[in-house]
Amino acid sequence: TVERAEYDYFKYHPMSEITGWMAQIQKENPDLVSIMDYGKTYEKRTISLLKIGVNTGEKKKAIWMDCGIHAREWIAPAFCQYFVRQILDAYKKDPKMQEMMKNMDFYVTPVLNMDGYIFSWANDSTRLWRKNRSPGPAGCDCYGTDLNRNFDANWGTIGVSFNCCDQTYCGKDAMSEPEAQAVTFFVGTRKEDFLCFLTIHSYGQLLLLPYGHPNFTAPNYDELMKVGLAAADAIKKVHGMHYTVGTSPDVLYPNSGSSRDWSRMQGIPYTFTFELRDNGTYGFELPEDQIKPACEEAYSGALEIITYAHNK
Ligand code: ING
Ligand code: ZN
């Protein structure tokens, strides 16, 4: 047999390697992991997720995690991969993870905005690409819609741009983009199952809760704050890093059309945006030697939220 080089979780990987990694994880864990294709990008790439859990034959609760909705935030796909490895490893020895994987399925999308991610790998001048790669409307020569402004959650009302050249261009209509449609359809058709919707970004070291629109307050705002603060405490214990918890208007600025707001409006109770390291020293170009600590602390925070949701 040919010895396969071990996957390096502490380097950034191009899309082709991440796709290969997904296949490898499925092959190595056939009883726990399956790959589901649930949409196409603008450039017709297949969007896939890993479904991870024990096949009990019963109806199960579910956890959503997506990474890489913004192309340049490379630590996010690295985190999704680390997260998958950690829960599969924990399953082997940790009775709590065994219990959680019996009761819940984890749906993890390592790279949602695949076209943008590939573009950000193309050369130095495209490294900081954020949006997807769909062309603008007639008369506008720029490319890309901000997928985290394109969801059907008070779409186009605040914290967005209607200029297709801007970083926060919200698209022609709510849900105009195939990547946003894919998440909407997949999660929307199973919304009663999902306890958590975790969407992973960088940077800023924040745990953001709904809503991004300042006129609306989540019905469980107090509980979300409590859980978010517990997650920030868990994060701090790992490497001493400080994460700020709150809604985006309270912490930074308001926005509309985010996937987190949409998922909360669908009735999913525990919805958070993670903004991973750092605080701006390196920004989107977080050095590879910080991948490990960034993932370790974020794993601890995510697990705090997931465990709370499971036990509730
Ligand atoms: N931040 C997210 C964005 O979509 C966000 C979330 C929204 C943060 C509003 C703060 C205020 O802009 C990044 N980094 O993408
Ligand atoms: Zn982002």
Nearest to 196 by CA among 100, 109, 270, 275: 270
Which ligand sits nearest to residue 256's alpha carbon? Answer: 1
| pLDDT tens string 29-66 | 999 999 999 999 999 999 999 999 999 999 999 999 99
Per-residue confidence band for 2, with pLDDT thresholds at 50, 70 and 90: low
Residues touching ligand 1 (Cβ under 6 Å) are 70, 148, 201, 208, 212, 248, 252-253, 255, 258, 273, 275
Average pLDDT across the chain, whole number: 98
For residue 245, give every residue at least 6 positions away whose Cβ sits within 8 Å of its Cβ, in sequence order, or none. Answer: 206, 207, 209, 225, 228, 229, 231, 232, 251
CA of 252 to the centre of ligand 1 (A): 9
Is 28 among the residues known to form the active site? Answer: no
| pLDDT tens string 88-137 | 999 999 999 999 999 999 999 999 999 999 999 999 999 999 999 999 99
| pLDDT tens string 264-273 | 999 999 999 9
How far is residue 152's CA from residue 107's CA, in Å, rounded to a whole number?
21
| pLDDT tens string 97-110 | 999 999 999 999 99
The single-letter code of the amino acid at 76 is A
Q: Which DSSP category does 170 fall into?
A: -
In ligand 1, which atom is closest to the CA atom of 70?
Answer: 15
Residue of 72, 202, 248 best suited for mutating to test ligand 1, as the one with most atoms within 8 Å of CB: 248
CA of 224 to the centre of ligand 2 (A): 21
How many of the other CB atoms lie within 10 Å of CB of 242? 9
Per-residue confidence band for 193, with pLDDT thresholds at 50, 70 and 90: very high
| pLDDT tens string 194-235 | 999 999 999 999 999 999 999 999 999 999 999 999 999 999
ipTM of predicted assembly, 2 dp: 0.96
Residue of 145, 208, 209 best suited for mutating to test ligand 1, as the one with most atoms within 8 Å of CB: 208
Residue located nearest, by CA, to atom 5 of ligand 1? 248
Per-residue confidence band for 5, with pLDDT thresholds at 50, 70 and 90: confident
Q: What's the order of all strands across the beta sheet hosting 61-67?
A: 33-40, 46-52, 104-109, 61-67, 194-202, 270-276, 206-209, 244-247
Question: What is the mean pLDDT of the segment spanning 166-182?
Answer: 98
The confidence score (pLDDT) of residue 3 equals: 63
Q: Are strands 104-109 and 61-67 parallel, antiparallel or unpaired?
A: parallel
Residue located nearest, by CA, to atom 2 of ligand 1? 201
